[in-house]
Amino acid sequence: MDSDNLPSPVRDLVSEARAIRLQILNASLLFAVVVGGLAFVRTLIDAMHLEEWRIVGGAVVLYGGFIVLLFARRWSYRVRALGFLALLYLVGVISFITVGYLSAPGLILAGQSVLAPVFFGRRMTVMTLGVNVLTLLGVGILLSTGVVTAETGFYEPTVFMNWLRVTAIFAVFAGIAVIGVDVIMNHLNKSLRDQAELIENLKGAIQLQEAAEQQRKAAESRLRATERREQP
């Protein structure tokens, strides 16, 4: 068996985990910029048509933020990951304030909650879930008391173009969450295959060692038998 192709039993798991997180971050940002561009253009056109200039300004700033994070490879991982989660949070909050409790804003915050443990771990997960729950309640208070008015016509279900925007938003934020899970599962499956192959190789080595030991014992037995016959 070719030893050059064997998986190494010595692995830097910490470095591997960091590399996986960085891969997920870069892939998620790329997906958000490329696929999210469709939702951005559709939202921009509709907002300008309805003269919702706050939505126009918010969409430009937020989408620009995703582009900046995508190309800012020299920034630290922590800064880029926190910035990404913050942008997702802002998109979700602004969407809730703009259109109320429709499915799209909830999906955005749900996707952000899924990415939090992928990027940082359990503590960030608990914090993110807590902040998102409080945000939902806070936005609900603002809208129910009339402090902020939602533009429900912006997602009028009888207009097919609105469905295109909702579909694009779903594709972006569901896709981002799926990318993170997919990268982790692929790495886990590869690690399990490598470990299984390593175990099989170790079993083969043990069998060869046992066979060699049996041959050695047999040779010693024959040697002793020969010595006894040659003795006077």
Q: Where are the domains of the chain?
A: 10-185
Work out the average pLDDT over 74-89. 90
CA 222 to chain centre: 64
pLDDT in tens, 10-61: 555 567 777 888 888 888 888 888 877 877 887 788 778 777 777 788 888 8
Instruction: Assess whether pLDDT exceeds 80 at residue 185.
Output: no
Q: Which two tokens stand for residue 198?
A: 């390593």
Q: Which of 24-28, 96-100, 116-120 has the lowest mean pLDDT?
A: 96-100
Element of type H or E holding 72: none
pLDDT in tens, 202-218: 887 888 888 888 887 77
Q: Which residue intervals of the chain are DSSP H helices?
A: 13-34, 36-49, 53-71, 77-99, 103-119, 122-144, 160-230
| Residue whose pair of structure tokens reads 């939602």 in the numeric block | 150
pLDDT band for 183, please (50, 70, 90 cuts).
confident
Q: How far apart are CA 150 and CA 96, in angstroms?
A: 8
> In this predicted structure, what is the pLDDT of residue 3?
47
pLDDT band for 6, please (50, 70, 90 cuts).
very low
Work out the average pLDDT over 141-151. 78
